[in-house]
Structure 1
Amino acid sequence: MTHKTPQILINHLNYATASGKPLFQGLSLFLGNERTGIVGRNGIGKSSLLKLIAGELSPVSGSIQVQGTLGYCPQIFQPAETVTVSELLNVRQKIEALTRIENGSTNDADFLAVGDDWTLHGRVMQQLSAFGLAHLALDQPVHCLSGGEKTRLLLCRALNTDADYLILDEPTNNLDMDARRHLYQRISQWEKGMLIVSHDRVLLNLMQHIIELNTLGMTQYGGNFDHYQEQKALLQSAREHEAADARKTLAKTSAALQLARERAEQKRARGRRLFTTGKIDRLFANSKKGRSERTQGRMARQKESLTHIAEQRLEQARANIEITREIQLNLQESCIPNGKILLEIKELSFSYDKEQPVIHQFNLHLAGPERIALIGRNGSGKTTLVKLILGELEAEAGKIYLGTDHISYLDQNAASLDPELSILDNFLAVNPDATTLDAYAALATFLFRNTAAQRLVKHLSGGEKLRAELACTLLSRQPPRLLILDEPTNHLDLESLASVESALKDFQGAIIAISHDEKFLHNINITRLIYAPFTHT
């Protein structure tokens, strides 16, 4: 039997959301046996495309043909209450048979179920451990796990499947650095088809092909993410040059038409003067006038046709340019002296369970505009340390000295914003001394222009919420001297990531960041890494 190469063929796909918003119109795409990354703004339809391929959504028209078996790992997963870890990993029967044999069973059915797979339990636990799930019991119900644990469990299942094509939706969300590095290694070794939606630039650099979904449709790029950025920049530059040339052509055509009109008017004026002075008779004047009008009419039609062509060319050139905007800030007010002590932690200890301290005799010194990152596995105490600094938890021992009252805490949920209020009203609530005009100007700097500032926070995407929170925080009359970020990049698209990184580069205060995104930490100029567990240093 001939083995068929895994592939996905999408032909003239049309799909709209439940509200009627069209996401795909006539989309055609071929995906072969390679690693493909999908990028694009939030809301553009990336996750919907994966769901359509996986069969969770149905297109309005068009077709999707999948050759081979699919392994799908969605962002949000809600299993039935009875599904256990071993069931989700498709090893329940063998594990139970192994357990019965270990307990003395001599039943042939158990030995038949196990076959030669006597090391299965150890392999499964090793796979779980690689994703920080060694604490899970195989008979534990999946619905009791956290969202992050469910995601990691699905990844564990997907990467240990025999599927011909893997489909992963934002797989590095909720993964710590160790788990991410394990995922990177497994993906780099994957030799079958793979389709990934992600904003993780390290992961995207492992791809062999990038597809960008944008307001203009779809654009495909060969190579990894770095190559995609280079090619996109060249394409954008070429389109902008084309638009500039089209504008010049239109200007020249319009100028030529105007000049022709002026010359025609000059000839008509000269003819009128010759007639009034009696140098030509009425018959000759009418004949000359008729020829002139016919000539001018023909020339005008030609010029207008050229103008129409030039206008169409300019319109098409403009339509080919995707509008992107950058945040540019002047945050001089956030500047602090190099020697200014902002945070001093001495012999800090804390535990939820006295048998297992989370933080033990920990010391930390932060002065001036230094930028540090708290690094460690999920559950290793990073957020606990932040809560101690903010005074939300009380230390068992040790001291925390804060050298400033101007501290802001931002997380992926934008908890400081009132979801029932508009962005504008949130800004005014945080900055009661600001005028409405001040608020509009500040929010426009963060790309919330005009009516966009009046949108309710509860209707914003994750990236928009963080951008709004940064606007309310950084552009206040008393901006923070110390900014604490807790996993701010989860669920952000690449454009939002770039906006956030740009804003944080302009910030001149100190930063404490919790993040597993190494590229993000590099781009915001983190200078020191503090590793958990936080013990005596």
Structure 2
Amino acid sequence: MLHLQNISYTHPDKNRLFTNISLTLNKNRKVALIGNNGAGKSTLLKIIAGTLEIAEGVRKIHTDPYYVPQVFGQFNELTVAEALHIDKKLKSLHEILNGNVTEEYLTILNDDWTLEDRCREALEYWKLQDIELQQKMETLSGGQKNKVFLAGMMIHEPELALLDEPSNHLDTEGRALLYEFISTTRISLLIVSHDRILLNMLEEIWELTKNGIQIYGGNYDFYTEQKEIERIALDSEVKSKEKALKKAQEKERETLERQNKLDARGKKKQEKAGLPTISMNTLKNNAEKSTAKVKRVHGEKIGGISLELQKLRKELPDLAHMKFGFTSPVLHKGKILVETKDLQFKYNEHIVFKTPLNLILLSGERIALKGKNGSGKTTLIHLILGKQKDFSGVVLRNEFSSAYIDQEYSLIDPSKTVYEQAQEFNTGALQEHEIKIRLNRFLFHSQYWDKCCFNLSGGEKMRLMLCCLTIATQTPDVIILDEPTNNLDIQSIEILTRAVNEYKGTLVVVSHDTHFLDEIDIERNIEL
């Protein structure tokens, strides 16, 4: 069905993204494509979809794939029907049914008499029955736009569908529908995703790296088991090389010490024997040459082992190099931070909360805010932070420091460099070298310091945000994460999970990622 051979892609700025990618996807297969941010997953999907030209290689595909993109802003000026490429068929169908039977309309329709029925069934399945096909895409929420394109699979009935982060923007109900569809459909699927529940439903994991595609013949759990085996083997190899390097260095030191003793002893004998100066110089030169040879031989061996060790360390996962270092919370556990009584909020005369909210937020709690899109989760966050003043009821707030980290990482100024952004949080007058040590801990090495934040990936922005929190004199009493795993690759989610688990303050999380919520030990759910 799909065959790529030695595919290469170069950005318009002449930077090569990947080279020599080869893969084959057969009928009735459901496969995940994973990899770090910037590896080229979305680009590879676009190449397969035929929307991007390749620099080198062969693309063979025996069907017309259906493509669900990750972003939808480019479709805002289109109607739902136009975005799904069914507008011309629908018009032809209506013209024919109204008696205007022409060759052109019959050709466009191509005997697709059940199109409207499939549209209705698809929109009903994805809970979009209130949406009109002639409605503009710009009137829809992010979750609704996503569902429109997912509905397109049921409308077009393709043999192959390419899905780029399909669970992004979906609430819990939407994700449940997606999981059901994936488990029951007979369409071949190639899915880019960081959703671990979804990845566990697929038959193979394809990992895209700078070295090509590595195939793991199982679901995500199988993949993680294999990666752990690989990591343990790599750790063992690194330790073995470190031991060999230490042994080689000790051997060099012992050999040089022995050589120096022999040279010194020989020199004393020569002086006692009263040898002429020319003979003494000859013997001295020979001793120096011998010592230099010993140094060269051992230096080459040590250099070779050091180079091998350096290469092995580069292959270690980034998480192995991470150090967080959050300060301990100042507030004692159990202190009341926020208390609401009969809290209600109206937006354009629309009552946000079905029933007035009465809740207490305590210091040290780990809370998940749950609810459908539009249920008021973001509104409640703004009320907790004291940013929303127009409400009815009572909100009692004690003083506490906080950091609100949304999915766009808007605390980061896109016009600043990485180093300048770090300095913004430097409330404790850390020296320049100390700031750079912190940046290094979060994998921002020297080549990053002058890089503009605008050009950072989602995962890099997340790491920089975490780094900035550790640079501040005191870690915030409360950290609020709003859909933190959206737009992150799996490795970045692992880094975020580890950082959140090291943080001992109060945590409030809005997320539909149940796997992430399980891993960060949420203690209480607030359902809106």
Bin the TM-score by the shorter chain. Answer: 0.7 to 0.9
Task: Write the distance in 1 (CA, Å) between the matches of 2:339 and 2:438.
Answer: 33
1:434-513 to 2 correspondence within 5 Å?
434-437=429-432, 438-450=434-446, 452-473=448-469, 475-513=471-509
The worse-fitting range, judged by mean Cα deviation, of 168-177 and 143-152 is 143-152
**Mapped contact 2:92–2:106 kept (Cα < 8 A):** yes
Task: Write the distance in 1 (CA, Å) between the matches of 2:375 and 2:256.
Answer: 78
1:391 Cα offset (Å): 3.4
The change in CA–CA distance for 1:270 and 1:369 in structure 2 (over 3 A counts) is: closer
* Matched letter for residue 510 of structure 1: T
* Matched letter for residue 25 of structure 1: T
Structure 2 residue 14 is the aligned partner of structure 1 residue 14: no
Structure 2 residue 69 is the aligned partner of structure 1 residue 68: no
The change in CA–CA distance for 1:305 and 1:32 in structure 2 (over 3 A counts) is: farther
The worse-fitting range, judged by mean Cα deviation, of 168-177 and 354-363 is 354-363
The change in CA–CA distance for 1:471 and 1:303 in structure 2 (over 3 A counts) is: closer
Task: Write the distance in 2 (CA, Å) between the matches of 1:355 and 1:261.
Answer: 84
The worse-fitting range, judged by mean Cα deviation, of 269-278 and 23-32 is 269-278
Write the deviation string for residues 337-372 of structure 1: whole angstroms up to 9, x where unpaired: 22x111111101122243655454221112231122
DSSP-derived class of the 2:347 partner:
coil
Matched with 1:41 is: 36
The change in CA–CA distance for 1:81 and 1:506 in structure 2 (over 3 A counts) is: closer
Structure 2 residue 152 is the aligned partner of structure 1 residue 157: yes
Structure 2 residue 184 is the aligned partner of structure 1 residue 189: yes
Task: Write the distance in 1 (CA, Å) between the matches of 2:292 and 2:341.
Answer: 89
Q: Which of 4, 21, 24 is the equivalent residue of 2:18? A: 24
1:136 Cα offset (Å): 1.8
DSSP-derived class of the 1:332 partner:
coil
The change in CA–CA distance for 1:475 and 1:248 in structure 2 (over 3 A counts) is: closer
Which segments of 5 or more consecutive residues in structure 2 lack a partner in the other structure? 274-290
The change in CA–CA distance for 1:111 and 1:30 in structure 2 (over 3 A counts) is: closer
Structure 2 residue 381 is the aligned partner of structure 1 residue 347: no
1:138 Cα offset (Å): 1.6
The worse-fitting range, judged by mean Cα deviation, of 92-101 and 32-41 is 92-101
**Mapped contact 1:336–1:509 kept (Cα < 8 A):** no
1:399 Cα offset (Å): 0.8
Matched with 2:403 is: 408
1:176 Cα offset (Å): 0.8
Provide TM-score, normalisation by structure 2: 0.82
Matched with 2:207 is: 212
DSSP-derived class of the 2:495 partner:
helix
The change in CA–CA distance for 1:404 and 1:525 in structure 2 (over 3 A counts) is: farther
DSSP-derived class of the 1:501 partner:
helix
DSSP-derived class of the 1:333 partner:
coil
**Mapped contact 1:39–1:197 kept (Cα < 8 A):** yes
DSSP-derived class of the 1:483 partner:
strand
The worse-fitting range, judged by mean Cα deviation, of 181-190 and 241-250 is 241-250
* Matched letter for residue 149 of structure 2: L
* Matched letter for residue 394 of structure 2: K
Give % identity: 33
**Mapped contact 2:153–2:161 kept (Cα < 8 A):** yes
1:18 Cα offset (Å): 2.1
DSSP-derived class of the 2:367 partner:
strand
The change in CA–CA distance for 1:518 and 1:160 in structure 2 (over 3 A counts) is: farther
**Mapped contact 1:329–1:445 kept (Cα < 8 A):** no
The change in CA–CA distance for 1:448 and 1:250 in structure 2 (over 3 A counts) is: closer
The change in CA–CA distance for 1:199 and 1:298 in structure 2 (over 3 A counts) is: same
Give the aligned CA root-mean-square deviation in angstroms. 4.3
Provide TM-score, normalisation by structure 1: 0.81
Task: Write the distance in 2 (CA, Å) between the matches of 1:88 and 1:300.
Answer: 71
The change in CA–CA distance for 1:123 and 1:344 in structure 2 (over 3 A counts) is: farther
Write the deviation string for residues 430-488 of structure 1: whole angstroms up to 9, x where unpaired: 44443334544444443434553443322221222233223333552243222222222
Matched with 2:285 is: none
**Mapped contact 2:162–2:189 kept (Cα < 8 A):** yes
The worse-fitting range, judged by mean Cα deviation, of 492-501 and 453-462 is 453-462
The change in CA–CA distance for 1:84 and 1:309 in structure 2 (over 3 A counts) is: same
Q: Which of 497, 510, 514 is the equivalent residue of 2:510? A: 514
Q: Which of 227, 233, 238 is the equivalent residue of 2:228? A: 233
The worse-fitting range, judged by mean Cα deviation, of 122-131 and 58-67 is 122-131
Task: Write the distance in 2 (CA, Å) between the matches of 1:153 and 1:162.
Answer: 14
1:428 Cα offset (Å): 3.5
Matched with 1:329 is: 325
Write the deviation string for residues 262-320 of structure 1: whole angstroms up to 9, x where unpaired: 88999999999999999xxxxxxxxxxxxxxxxx9999999999888767765665565
Structure 2 residue 453 is the aligned partner of structure 1 residue 425: no
DSSP-derived class of the 1:480 partner:
coil
**Mapped contact 2:3–2:22 kept (Cα < 8 A):** no
1:60-209 to 2 correspondence within 5 Å?
60-77=55-72, 83-89=78-84, 92=87, 124-209=119-204
**Mapped contact 2:256–2:294 kept (Cα < 8 A):** no
**Mapped contact 2:9–2:18 kept (Cα < 8 A):** yes
* Matched letter for residue 27 of structure 1: I
The worse-fitting range, judged by mean Cα deviation, of 512-521 and 129-138 is 129-138
DSSP-derived class of the 1:519 partner:
helix
**Mapped contact 2:325–2:470 kept (Cα < 8 A):** no
Task: Write the distance in 2 (CA, Å) between the matches of 1:443 and 1:13.
Answer: 35
1:207 Cα offset (Å): 1.7
Task: Write the distance in 2 (CA, Å) between the matches of 1:530 and 1:236.
Answer: 38
